[in-house]
Structure 1
Amino acid sequence: MKIVVTGGGTGGHIYPALAIAGYFADVENAEILYIGTERGLESDIVPRSGFAFRTIEVSGLKRSLSLDTVKTFWRLGKGLVQAGRILKEFQPDVVIGCGGYVVAPVAFMAKMRGIPTYIHEMDVLPGLTNRSLSRIADRIGVSFEGAVKYFSHVKDKVVVAGNPRASEVVKVSPDDIRKVKQEFGLDLTKKTVVVVSGSRGAKPINDATLGMLESVAKQKNFQLIYITGQIHYNDVVRQIQEKGYGPQQGIFTQPFVYNILPLLAGTDILVSRAGATTIAEVTALGIPGIYIPSPYVTNNHQEHNARWLADEGAGIMIKESDLTPDLLYDTISSLIESPSKLQEMKKRSRGLGIPEALSNIHQAVMDLLK
């Protein structure tokens, strides 16, 4: 079996695409070719994975008419030709697209050549590329039930498969959880709250967290591990040390955690942004979340993710514009001090998770090929 996998621009598209590629390589002994762009993150990430990698020239469409718009259409034309040439040479049995503008020319040329196409939407609110491709794709996988309504015009094609990243969390063992907590010096008997500010950090989340540390230091109900992001780490640690806070008060800091799944699996409450991958992980684990969606992402899709979780009783959304130290601390405390509410939120979170996502995607693709 030969499979073209495509997707790019952000890790939220690339890592799930690689998870799918790896699954098919293992289960079907498939030959994988990944198509991306030279300028996207995939040009660095994918070659490290060991999969064959080819590039096409294409860029995202700007919202306003300008010289860049003309260049975009020129690149799209070039990308279509390049994608067609690659498909003709590789002769795949199926094309799998995981989001990002690079998918459009590949999926379109696959359709022109009669190659079955599966596209996967990671967020609750579908991106422009997947919405545009929904009519020509043969099957559409979605990560969350909340995304189905946006594909009502092609509902017969839609499969609620889950996010591929969710399948990774089921591999975490209790021993993995214990080891990572011991590594960070955490108390194995206390409830744990994890604040994640993102790989590069988010100043509003950092400011709110720093502002509530006095309250955290005074209480004994939970410990806090604060992942600041590399950029802000030194400044945050300096401010914490100036206040005299540290592990003795149940306050721990890390710039970044590369293997975060064992830590998440041992978390009672997560405070974070509301990216699709994060949501897939925490719902597969059944973790209640306090979500502060980034207002700076395309189509404001993080707010749609967070609002859906809040409406389902699996989390609480705080808009960045409303975020204060007092509000963040009070929200955490109200959950910690109400075990029944926290347990119900865990139950609802787990009910939304789909840890068998990769198996579901595999089945959907194989059914398509039949």
Structure 2
Amino acid sequence: MRVVLTGGGTGGHIYPALAIGKEWKARHPDTELLYIGGRRGMESRIVPQHGIAFEALDITGFRRSLSWENVRTVIRFWQAVRRSKELLRRFRPDAVVGTGGYVCGPVVYAAHKLGIPTLIHEQNVVPGLTNKFLSRYVDAVAVSFRDSLPFFSRIPDSVYAGNPCATAVVGADAARGFASLGLPKGTPFVLTVGGSGGARAINEAAVGMVPMLDRLPGAHFVFVTGERFHEETRDRVRGLESAASGRVHVLPYIHNMPEVLAAASLVVSRAGASLIAEFTSVGMPSILVPSPNVTNNHQEPNARSLADAGAAVMILERELTGESLFAAVSSIMKDEKRRASMAEAARKLGMPDAAKTIAEQLERIIEKRKKKTAG
């Protein structure tokens, strides 16, 4: 069996695709996977590291203002459709799975035109432009949030599945998480992370908290800054006078996020759908700072869905300071009953079988197409 995965631009599109591929391989070990991504996207670096064959397209997204660049984008789209058809004819997949991002558009559209079963996964509450476009052509849709289903009401096989990244953190070893950070097992710590590329606003607020951290004795703080902000953030933390400075750990990136999440007491983060899926899967209380710099402000509805359920506290970026962040962190860390309540609320939202649900959905559309062809 052969399956094509596509999606890119950010980790929020890439890691769900990889999680679906991993689940599919576990169910069908003889499967060959091919990942079609963008030449400029993170996927061109990340996917080959997972041992999956990779092909690149030259594709860009639309600008929101009138621009001649949009004309070039349309030309690139149709060129990418043509190239996608070539790759699909050569690989002969049984199905194509798209997880969003600009590159997903031409690949899934080309698959539809070739009569190949197609499934898209939408990570956010409000669907992205690409998945809205593709919803007219696909056989099936899986969504991370129940509130997304009305956007895909025209597609009979629409499933509230959750985010497949949730499956990846199930059973993660907390002891290895503590060990990787050099902390004794059971040490309470707050994990602050701005997504795969880091977030300057969260880093700024984290640094602003440092002089106040002596008010939380015993707790450690792990600031995951992103590669581009690491040296600057580390140097600023070192330059601050604080009795808690020995309990602050500044790291550029974490490669074993599931294990570290399993060990953490509280997470401060952006509200990307994949991260939220991981938090809820392990029952992790969170403070969410949605990015205002994403398409359709889609992170705010993501964060609000958790805050409304009592699983998270949301702080809008315009309200984020060292003081406001510390107040939220301190309130939760000092109140074990509240933290436990948030953890339980998060766990109720978690869907650890998401990848399994999507794989079963994929099996359905492949079988349906086989029966139709045979008939």
TM-score, reference length from structure 1: 0.91
Once residues 244 and 185 of structure 1 are traced to their aligned partners in structure 2, the CA distance between those partners, rounded to angstroms, is: 23
Report the Cα distance in structure 2 between the residues aligned to 1:226 and 1:54, rounded to whole angstroms. 35
Q: What displacement does 1:166 show?
A: 1.1
Answer yes or no: is the 8 Å Cα contact 1:144–1:352 preserved in 2.
no
Counterpart of 1:135 in 2: which secondary structure?
Answer: coil
* AA in 2 matched with 1:360: T
Determine if the alignment matches structure 1 residue 141 to structure 2 residue 142.
Answer: yes
- Tell me what 2:129 maps to: 128
Q: Where does residue 74 of structure 1 map in the other structure?
A: 75
Question: Which range moves more in the overlay, 71-80 or 285-294?
Answer: 71-80
Give the 3 Å change call, closer, same or farther, for CA 358–256 of structure 1 in structure 2: same
Letter in 1 for 2:105: A
Q: Which moved more, 1:325-334 or 1:241-250?
A: 241-250
Specify the alignment match of 2:371 in structure 1.
none
Indicate the residue corresponding to 1:330 in structure 2.
Answer: 327
Query: Which of 248, 254, 261 in structure 2 is aligned with 1:251?
Result: 248
- Give the 3 Å change call, closer, same or farther, for CA 221–360 of structure 1 in structure 2: same
> Which residues of 2 match residues 79-158 of structure 1 at below 5 A?
79-154=80-155, 156-158=156-158
- Matching residue of 2:165: 165
User: What's the secondary structure of 2:239's corresponding residue?
Assistant: helix
Q: Is the 8 A contact 1:245 1:251 kept in 2?
A: no
Once the two structures are TM-superposed, the CA of residue 97 in structure 1 deviates from its matched residue by: 0.9
Unaligned stretches of 5+ residues in structure 1:
none
Q: Which residue identity is paired with 2:250?
A: T
How far has the Cα of 1:118 moved from its partner? 0.6
Deviation at 1:199?
Answer: 4.5
Instruction: Report the secondary structure of 1:96's partner residue.
Output: strand
One-letter amino acid matched to 1:269: L
Query: How big is the alpha-carbon RMSD for the aligned residues of Structure 1 and Structure 2?
Result: 2.1
Tell me the equivalent position of 1:19. 19
CA distance in 2, matches of 1:110, 1:245: 58
Shift of 1:273: 0.9
Over 3 Å counting, the alpha-carbon distance change for 1:314 and 1:70 in structure 2 is same
The 1:104/1:202 distance shift into structure 2, 3 A limit, reads: closer
Contact kept? 1:123, 1:147, Cα under 8 Å: yes
Contact 2:210 2:245 in 1 (8 A): no
Is 1:2 the counterpart of 2:9? The answer is no
Contact 1:8 1:100 in 2 (8 A): yes
Q: How many residues align?
A: 366
1:212 equivalent in alignment to 2:209: yes
2:66 alignment counterpart: 65
2:195–2:272: 8 Å Cα contact kept in structure 1?
no
In 1, the alpha carbon distance for the partners of 2:37 and 2:203 equals: 34
Whole-Å Cα distance in 2 between the matches of residues 94 and 108 of structure 1?
12
Relative distance call for 1:56 and 1:243 in structure 2 (3 A) is: closer
Corresponding position: 1:54 with 2:58: no
Please say if residues 210 and 240 of structure 2, whose CA atoms lie closer than 8 Å, have aligned partners that are also in contact: no
Letter in 1 for 2:111: A
Superposition deviation, residue 315 in structure 1:
0.6
Letter of the structure 2 residue corresponding to residue 70 of structure 1: V
With over 3 angstroms needed to count, the CA separation of the structure-2 counterparts of 1:117 and 1:271, relative to structure 1, is same
Is 113-122 or 12-21 further displaced after alignment? Answer: 12-21
Listed as ranges, the matches of 1:269-308 within 5 Å are 269-308=266-305
1:136-173 CA distances to partner (integer Å, 9 max, x unpaired)? 2110011222322332343x321112222111111312
Q: State, as a whole percentage, how many aligned pairs show the same letter.
A: 40
| 1:162-212 deviation digits (Å, cap 9, x = unpaired) | 222111111312xxx224324434354443211123444323222222222
Aligned residue identity for 1:27: R
Aligned to 2:40: 39
Of stretches 228-237 and 348-357 in structure 1, the one that deviates more from structure 2 is 228-237
Q: Which residue of 1 aligns with 2:372?
A: none
Q: CA deviation at 1:6?
A: 1.3
Q: What do the CA deviations read for 1:35-58 (whole angstroms, capped 9, x no partner)?
A: 223222222322333222223343
Separation (CA, whole Å) in 2 of partners of 1:22 and 1:208:
36
Secondary structure of the residue aligned to 2:305 is: helix
The amino acid of 1:271's aligned partner reads: V
TM-score by length of 2: 0.90
Cα deviation 1:49-93 (Å, max 9, x = unaligned):
322222334321222333212211211221222222222232221
Using the alignment, how far apart are the partners of 2:60 and 2:249 within structure 1? 41
Matched, 1:364 2:365: no
Query: What SS does the corresponding residue of 1:243 show, helix, strand or coil?
Result: coil
Distance 2:183 2:243 in 1: 12
Residue 281 of structure 2 aligns to a residue in which SS?
helix
Query: 2-side partners of 1:103 and 1:50: how far apart?
Result: 20
Amino acid at match of 1:163: N
Question: In structure 2, the residue corresponding to 1:232 is in which secondary structure?
Answer: helix
**Alpha-carbon shift at residue 310 of structure 1 (Å):** 1.0
**Equivalent in the alignment of 1:354:** 351
CA displacement at 1:101 relative to structure 2: 1.7
2:314 is the alignment partner of 1:317 = yes
